[in-house]
């Protein structure tokens, strides 16, 4: 009877059951990557792409103005 209990506990252990541990690590990896992508997308969406105002010389413009 006690031998059956030890076998059941061994099946639940992540170190001894390779299939369960690999499934667990797969789901953790998928969840982590998904959280990373969603977090980055929400950060880009909330902050937006801000165009900087750059000072350009008058002689370098599309229609240059010479002195």
Residue 64 confidence (pLDDT): 78
Residue 29 confidence (pLDDT): 96
Give CA–CA dist 43/41, Å, rounded: 5
- DSSP assignment string, 29-67: HHHHHHHHHHHHHHHHHHH--PPPP----GGGSSS----
Domain-by-domain residue ranges, the chain? 2-60
Residue 24 confidence (pLDDT): 86
Residue 34 confidence (pLDDT): 97
pLDDT averaged over 10-residue windows placed end to end, the chain, 67 residues:
57 66 90 96 83 83 78
Residue 12 confidence (pLDDT): 62
Residue 14 confidence (pLDDT): 63
């Amino acid at each position: 009877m006690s031998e059956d209990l030890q076998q059941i506990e061994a099946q639940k252990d992540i170190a001894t059951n390779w299939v369960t541990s690999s499934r667990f690590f797969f789901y953790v990896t998928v969840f982590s990557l998904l959280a990373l992508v969603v977090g980055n997308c929400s950060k880009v969406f909330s902050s937006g792409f801000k165009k900087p105002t750059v000072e350009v010389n008058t002689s370098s413009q599309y229609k240059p103005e010479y002195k």
